Structure 1
Amino acid sequence: MSALAKPSAALAPGLARSARLMRALGPDAAAIWAELDPQETDALSAAMDRLADDPSADAEALRRFAEARAASGQPGRGVWADLSALDTTALAMLTQHERAQVVALILSRLTGDAAARLLRALPSSLAVEAMQRLLHLGEIHPAAMASLEQHLAGRVKTMTREGSSAGIERIARIFDRLDPRAGTLFLAALESAEPGAGDKVRSLMFTFDDLATLDAGGMQTLLAAADRATLVIALKGAKETTSAAFFANMTARAGELLREEIAALGPVRRSEVDASRAELVGLARQLIGRGEIHAGSQTDEDELVE
């Protein structure tokens, strides 16, 4: 510990934890500093000055803090270890619907590294409010802490159960963006390594040619939202059935102009075409996710009910 540093034990728990987090974030904490009021900034700066300047000593303090909590015999102490082991995306998903006060409490119990990762992943407004609450966080009633730990333990179990299907979904999204040749090769390799996995991924894939299955309203919504240059490149060399679905939802004049633009392009690199098609598929997925369009066309078996 440096000669100027005072023991951090005298600091309030929330303030000490905030100081450690801001130190762990380093330059990434600039946006949070900008939102704190002068009193909070002064208090946090003073707390950081009272901590040791040696990064290794700070890391050791965080390790001892985590070990002390694990050895304290508190109910649910394994929950925080489980949460700290989650990747950043999972941590962000776990807290996306929580109030700032709860997020602050979670930050106070995670390991230093996990807390810093979560803080970086949070929306800036939530990160700032959570840090402000963490600055003033005091002792938590044991019943409230036990309730939160039970809630989080249930969320972690749910995420674990859903992990397999989520993994298939992520793989399908990757395959969506592969060119057809590479996608076919990788699917075959995946099927060979794990029989049945290829069919599961294939059932969740949504490719450029699948856009032809959109109903008229969906296709017109997609056309209105799509970038013109992206659309022109994506339709270069497209299958006749796919192209027809696009042109069928334009006026004759608009279709004629689009065909002229495609012809005027000349040869286009396959990688550019694949990238443009992947961009359209991504846009379609966003519109589907917002409920603005629906995947699949309306068939006779799926008729409207008056």
Structure 2
Amino acid sequence: MAEATPAAGISGAERAAILLMSLGEAEAAEVLKHMGAKDVQKVGQAMASLTNVTRERANEVMDRFVMELDNQTALGVGADDYVRRVLVGALGEDKASGLIDRILLGRNSKGLEALKWMETRAVADLVRNEHPQIVAIVLAYLDPDQAAEVLELLPERMRGDVLMRIARLDGIQPAALRELDEIMEKQFSGGNNLKSSSVGGLKVAAGILNLMDSAMEQTIVARIGEVDADLSQRIQDLMFVFDDLGEVDDRGIQTLLRDLSTETLGMALKGADARIKDKFVKNMSKRAGEMLLEDMEAKGPARVSDVEAAQKEILAAARRLADAGTISLGGKGEDFV
């Protein structure tokens, strides 16, 4: 599927695949249960072939989905209300809330809020020439995964300074945040959708670092340590690393397993110690555990970068579940969630 192809130019199966993958595994499975075998096969093939789907592409698909709903529910029914009711009815209030925001609120977001809906590289280009304090406030306002991607795209000399400033942020005056929002608004036709003046801090800095490439993460921590060893240690104390999953109770691991693919888990466990491997395997069925270990052995050695990427993916899933109150994370990252 060509990267530059607009959502209107891709097939219905590909649009369905992007939408389902945005929902998550459990919810996508529920939708597929109500489809015919041929349709499932088409959408499944499209899901398997999807690569490098950008935030912009996903948003285009979401927008088209809402527009088509609007056309089909025009008999006195508002499309936004319809989408909201359908999603809440299907997924429940907690699971639907994030997706509702993504579909409905993202279309009209402005100012700082609009940055959450922009391409990561576009955000990096927008802020790279700003003062590091401005960059810190902007990244603190973004979701941790997006902030981590933006930070990786900034010049190396900036990264440690920016993250240190994020860690030292202790909120920001609403007037100052509004002023920054207006600056962002002027650059790409903005607005005033500020939700909170409480941005930044140690937890935000730790969350961003958790989602960065491991080598880059270590470099940034070391640079912060050169300037402020105490701050560096406090950030590290709040970081949740893969080994900390050993402190999650069995029920939490079982819940996490439902959100993971066998391929991702097998790759991640290649770089884990025996304690963590045993933790996951004992919470699987005997047959599933045996198949996982056999598959890991059959595939042989893996690149360190692939193992670290798989571990980051599992950590991100664990944090999502913890944020939703579904599981409790133990270890030194407990305060972080």
TM-score (norm 1): 0.46
TM-score (norm 2): 0.42
